[in-house]
Amino acid sequence: MKTTTRHGGSTGPGETGTAPVRPGPGDARATGGFAGAVAAEWSKLWSVRSAWICLAAGLLVTGVFTFYYASIARINGHPVQPVANAAAASAMISQFAVVVLATVAVTSEYATGSVRSSLLAVPRRHLVQGAKALVTGAVAFLGGAVYGVVGTAVAWGPFEGRASFEAGTALGQVLGLAVYEALVAVLTVGVAFAARHAAGALSVLVLLLWGLPSVLLGLGGETLAAVEDRLPYGAGDHLMRAGADAPYGTTTAVLVVAAWAAAAHLTGLYVLRRRDA
């Protein structure tokens, strides 16, 4: 005896009449879960020129700034300092190459509406945000390491004896710069998901990473300096520099920046889950 299925077909004896279930575009299994989301974000990031432009701009800024920093130190007769301090100081500007890269990675999808496709492919929204944070963080880490190496090499010449070089110290500073840039990328992804617009996200990040620290340091005073030490860039500066007095060690500096990144990430995730794409 044959039975008719709901699709108009028929089945023979022993067949159930139910079509096999295949994962569709709304099923995370269709893209391999988190691994698939990471692969997709990696492909999307490098499929546009903005990523290359941001990284190249950061490299150019690092080269120009470290040359200037070392030249000023020589001309003004500053005390001898670790040569990688020039690269560490350049992070005040080069970090915004990472900020723009991570912001565009998020807000461009909201601008074009392609974020809906991303959320259909991976309906667990925390996986989408986590994949963007991981990919941009990894790229920022590698970019920061390159900035550190190039900045140190460029600064050595114009310092002309006003800098010292120790391999262990320089390596630690380069790694510190890479870690800071990676955490800034994660922080930026969270802010971008919360703001959903590039202008809004960049306004918040410029204020947090440059405007507020500059104002606090300009006003002076121990209390304001203590506040600045607990902002992302203040902690990052202690992480990257060597030979300067710091109110806390490297581990605490990493934890302070990581706490800001985690807070931004959770805020962005809250907005992502609460609001429609």
Residue-wise pLDDT tens digits, 130-188: 999 999 999 999 999 999 999 999 999 999 989 999 999 999 999 999 999 999 999 99
The residue among 83, 223, 265 whose CA lies nearest residue 167 is 83
Q: Say whether 208 sits in a helix, a strand or coil.
A: helix
Please enumerate in sequence order all residues whose Cβ is within 8 A of that of 99, keeping only pairs 6 or more positions apart, or say none.
Answer: 184, 185, 188, 202, 205, 209
Q: How far is the C-alpha of 244 from the C-alpha of 82, rounded, in Å? A: 10
Task: Please state the φ and ψ torsions of residue 79, each to the nearest 5 degrees.
Answer: -60, 155
In this prediction, residue 46 carries a pLDDT of 92
Q: How far is the C-alpha of 92 from the C-alpha of 137, rounded, in Å? A: 17
In this prediction, residue 242 carries a pLDDT of 80
In this prediction, residue 124 carries a pLDDT of 85
In this prediction, residue 32 carries a pLDDT of 59
In this prediction, residue 161 carries a pLDDT of 87
In this prediction, residue 8 carries a pLDDT of 42
In this prediction, residue 178 carries a pLDDT of 98
Q: Positive or negative CA dihedral for 249, 250, 256, 262?
A: negative
In this prediction, residue 165 carries a pLDDT of 95
Instruction: Tell me the two tokens of residue 88.
Output: 């560490």
In this prediction, residue 12 carries a pLDDT of 46
* Spans of the chain below 70 pLDDT: 1-32, 244, 277
Task: Please state the φ and ψ torsions of residue 136, each to the nearest 5 degrees.
Answer: -65, -35
Cβ atoms 182, 236 nearer than 8 A: no
